[in-house]
A and B are shown apart, each in its own frame.
Chain A
Amino acid sequence: MRPVRRPADHHPRRRARHTATAAVALSLVLSLATACAGTEDAASPGAGGDGGTPTAGGTLAVGLNTSVACVDPHQNSSNVTIFVARQIADSLTDQDPETGEITPWLAESWESAPDATSYTFHLRDGVTFSDGTPLDAEAVAANFDRITELGPGVAPLASTYLDGYTGSEVIDPQTVTVTFDHPNVQFLQGTATITLGILAPATLALTPEERCAGDIVAAGPFVIDSYEPEQRIVLSRRDGYDWASPAVEHTGEAYVETVNFEVVPESGVRAGQLRSGELHIDTIPLTEDVPNLEASGFGVLGRPYPGVGVNLVPNLERPLISDVNVRRAILLGADREEIVAGVLTEYDKVAQNVITSATPFFEPLDGITYDPEQAVELLEESGWVPGEDGIREKDGQRLELLALYHAGRQASPMMELLQGQLREIGIDLQIRLEAPADLAAAEASGEWDLWYTPFHRAEADAARAVFGVTGRNQNRAPEPRPVDDVLQEQSGESDPQRRQELITEATQELVDQAYAIPLYELAGVMSYAPVVKGFHFEASSRLSLYDVWLDA
């Protein structure tokens, strides 16, 4: 089966913008890198987008920043696992990265019950796993059964998608009905993620440890060839693959013959390897390298992660921040334009909603603006008056708030900038970086006023999952609020138009009450060599290599 390119009328391919940017102050190592190897590949400035007829073949080297702890997508949802697993396993549905619309993939069509308690999938004919067994209704049912059997301790994220799962009924070899004990509207988008990717029954029969260690058979365009998680994972193209999702650019087999995922922990070394041609794609370049890479002819792909963007989430159990005026003052006192222009890339966007513009059902909201005067008014209204050092006080108490955050891309410079902005209106924002190891305990302690929380999910229900009392209740709301009813209602609403209204209503309420303080939309950013063509993200802004080809 030769790879066939789709007609051009499909959605336009994103073209990486190349902005020549003035050189920034560079570290010793970076300037060495630039001096050593920066110029020779700079010949083709428009690289990376369209142009030329795709050619099949070649080996693509992709740099990962950490070893893959577990390659089983059902068990692990870290970025590196998703990057690898997405290439080897297909899902029941796919999601159009442009519109967020759920499109067919392994399922040709589906129906959902009006109350979203059951879904019937009609599977595509002739799909086989790479061990030759058919991908049929039995196999799909076995996947969901097995995830439920493993439970949230082993398969945390997959279990969330299957929340309330009661079973799958095999109607005929190509038809399966999945039922839940309560409305589960987010399940359908879950079926488009790699986390609910369909694995072969033989794989499901293995222990979770064996699956982690690379023993994964699925139905994707690549298969695992060799697996050394500390060093290199080699995938090879699967012969005869012919069930690509309509959301990608071509049909038939993948273009590149081999994919080498190389584990290169040091970002400076990854950048050097990209320049020297040892790597074709760096999945996590340093933010400060991005303008320089673009200026020297390298491609950069960036797209906001869908889901809940970077928000600060107030803890309603704490006295100072439980005052809506204080919360709103922070919302109005944050200069988002300055944050994005100052410490982020051109691919990160100023927040217009609690959820990001890459999320289905996104609509820009009112009231997410920078208005320090109004912020000051609100604080004065609540009786906060400037003290000696410029920080506001009331009854001898300083307006001091503690924000906890964890290492995300550019999280620290962003928080420091925000700290300065809030000082302008008289709020003393204390910021504390929590190590991944301490995060869960710090969160559970409740000893914080503001929580930093991106939550990546191409589903508007992410807002309920984070803010709703039935979800994580990140606000630590002591009792259900009016907004919780709306958040709950949208999660059981299968009429898209009505759901849109409910989601906009709920997110607007989150902003009006400042239960959420949206800051910006963090983007997935990757850099690639000029020889890499046809590179685009999937709907969750993660790596998709099916359409990639090498312009030798």
Chain B
Amino acid sequence: MAKYLASRALQALPVLLGTFTLAFVLLSVLPSDALSIKLSGSGDSALSQEEIARLRAEQGYDDPLPLQYVRQLGGLLTGDMGVSLHTGSPVVSMIGSALPHTARLAVAALLVGVTAGLVIGSLAAHARSRALRELLMSVPPLGISFPTFAVGLVLIQVVSFQWRALPSGGTDGFESLVLPALTLSLPVTATVAQIFARSLREVLDQGYIDTATAKGAGRLRLHLAHAVRNAAGPSLTATGMVIGNLLGGAVVTETVFSREGVGRLTADAVTRQDLPVVQGVVLLSALVFVVVNLLVDLTYPLLDRRVTLTEATR
């Protein structure tokens, strides 16, 4: 097990380094840099072009790119991702304070989304009436075609402003978590329901299910004890991918619901072209993908005994 984990960690390194390098290249081909943006600000400061050029040179923006790359990479290895160009606080601590809020939101969205997805998927797979099955199966495509921001805005208008049932935004306690979690869970529900229903149907068509039926297993027992476990694999993989995408969904959801978090941090950093923060967020999402993939692979053998970890390292 330890050997497996070590080899996976080693595999993660090139992924992270590649992400870092790609982000660096992309950010450096942008026509402008954070300093010029900060100085031009809202257009109110009247510094001349010469003065801006002098400051740029002074702060190392004119150094050759390889030098800037090595400097940043060196910082990263010592756990220093630089400081925000707008607040001056270290990127690591900015992400550190935003991450718990997003994690809470993502976990809530995931719980709601996976549960709802499994339930809808099961009902669709077991539905005897063709019409009901068609109806249930059309829920996922519908859910995934609603843009998150529109769903969020409608929820706010109805639930917060019309019914006054829940706050329209903020990061204060459980109440403020409900609507954003629902909004963010929609694509999760849709993905899980779609994939789970399909694999469940495939499993239900297999011979061992007939055997179990012949031995007198009831529908519920059939479902829980025989089918779910074997059908869950693809959904687990899909959920892993969805977790990575939740970070992207958080950008929209956190903005619409005025929530604190990594999504808002990203949106602000991109608008202000706060390059160190953008860089940090990109690395964070790469790390999340790597970790989630590892967790999914570790969970697989628990679900399906045919899978062993040595196979996964191939």
Contacts and interface: CB of A to CB of B under 8 A. Distances in A.
Given A69-B272, A443-B40, A437 B161 contact: no
* Chain A residues touching B, range: 35 or more
B32 A438 contact: yes
A230 interface: yes
A157 B268 contact: no
B264 interface: yes
Given A36-B161, A156-B39, A438-B32, A66 B268 contact: yes
Contact of B156 (A66, A269, A455, A472): A269
Interface string A88-124: 0000000000000000000000000000000000000
A157 B257 CA distance: 33
B304 to A, nearest CB: 42
Contacts of B161: 33, 36-37, 272-273, 275-276
Given A29-B153, A266-B153, A440 B46 contact: no
Contacts of B258: 231, 262-266, 269
B145 interface: no
Contacts of B59: 153
Contacts of B230: none
B48 A473 contact: yes
B43 A453 contact: yes
A269 B32 contact: no
Contacts of A439: 32, 37, 40
A231 B88 contact: no
Contacts of B153: 29, 266, 268-269
A61 B173 CA distance: 19
Interface in B1-60: 30-32, 35-49, 51-52, 55, 58-59
A455 B44 CA distance: 6
A269 B43 contact: no
B89 interface: yes
B37 A440 contact: yes
A1 interface: no
Interface string A461-480: 00001100001110000000
A441 B36 contact: yes
A438 B30 contact: yes
A32 interface: yes
B115 interface: no
A278 interface: yes
Contacts of A69: 86-87, 268, 272
B157 A29 contact: yes
Interface residues of B, number: 54
A437 B32 contact: yes
Given A67-B268, A156-B47, A439-B37, A32 B86 contact: no
B160 interface: yes
Contacts of A209: 83, 87-89
Given A442-B31, A465-B46, A153 B55 contact: yes
Contacts of A473: 48
A455 B86 contact: no
Interface string A160-197: 10000000000000000000000000000000000000
B49 A208 contact: no
Contacts of B47: 152, 156, 159-160, 472
Contacts of A230: 98, 171, 260, 264-265
Nearest to B32: A441
B7 to A, nearest CB: 39
Contacts of B143: none
Contacts of A232: 170
- Most chain A Cβ neighbours within 10 Å, of B46, B52, B272: B46
A67 B264 contact: yes
B239 interface: no
B309 interface: no
B154 interface: yes
A222 B285 CA distance: 40
Given A160-B45, A265-B258, A442-B31, A436 B37 contact: yes
B41 A70 contact: no
A193 B164 CA distance: 41
A36 B37 contact: no
Contacts of A231: 170-171, 258, 260
A231 B153 CA distance: 19
B271 interface: yes
Contacts of B45: 77, 152, 156-157, 159-160
Contacts of B260: 228, 230-231
A473 B49 CA distance: 9
Contacts of B89: 209, 212-213
A473 B39 CA distance: 16
- Most chain A Cβ neighbours within 10 Å, of B30, B89, B156, B157: B157
Contacts of B164: 276
B87 A213 contact: yes
Nearest to A439: B40
B32 A36 contact: no
Contacts of B40: 439-440, 443
B293 interface: no
B236 to A, nearest CB: 33
Contact of A70 (B43, B83, B86, B273): B86
Contact of A269 (B30, B51, B256): B256
Given A32-B157, A439-B32, A269 B168 contact: yes
B169 interface: yes
Contacts of B55: 152-153
A457 interface: yes
A272 B160 contact: yes
Contact of A266 (B32, B255, B265, B272): B255
Nearest to B84: A69
Contact of B88 (A36, A37, A207, A454): A207
A70 B256 contact: no
A33 B42 CA distance: 31
A78 to B, nearest CB: 6
Given A268-B153, A272-B156, A156 B38 contact: yes
A50 to B, nearest CB: 30
Interface string B170-207: 11000000000000000000000000000000000000
Contacts of B39: 152-153, 156, 440
A456 interface: yes
B296 to A, nearest CB: 31
Given A269-B156, A444-B49, A466-B46, A157 B87 contact: no
Given A76-B86, A156-B41, A213-B88, 8 more contacts: A36-B158, A209-B89, A265-B258, A269-B156, A437-B273, A456-B43, A457-B44, A472-B48
16 contacts: A36-B161, A70-B87, A70-B88, A77-B44, A78-B42, A156-B39, A209-B88, A209-B89, A213-B87, A213-B88, A269-B156, A269-B168, A275-B161, A436-B37, A440-B36, A455-B43
Interface of A: 29, 32-33, 36-37, 66-67, 69-70, 76-79, 152-153, 156-157, 159-160, 207-209, 212-213, 228-232, 262-266, 268-269, 272-273, 275-276, 278, 406, 436-444, 453-457, 465-466, 471-473
Nearest 10 interchain pairs by C-beta = A209-B88, A440-B36, A156-B45, A441-B32, A441-B31, A437-B273, A69-B86, A465-B46, A36-B162, A230-B260
Interface of B: 30-32, 35-49, 51-52, 55, 58-59, 83, 86-89, 98, 153-154, 156-158, 160-162, 164, 168-171, 255-258, 260, 264-265, 267-268, 271-273
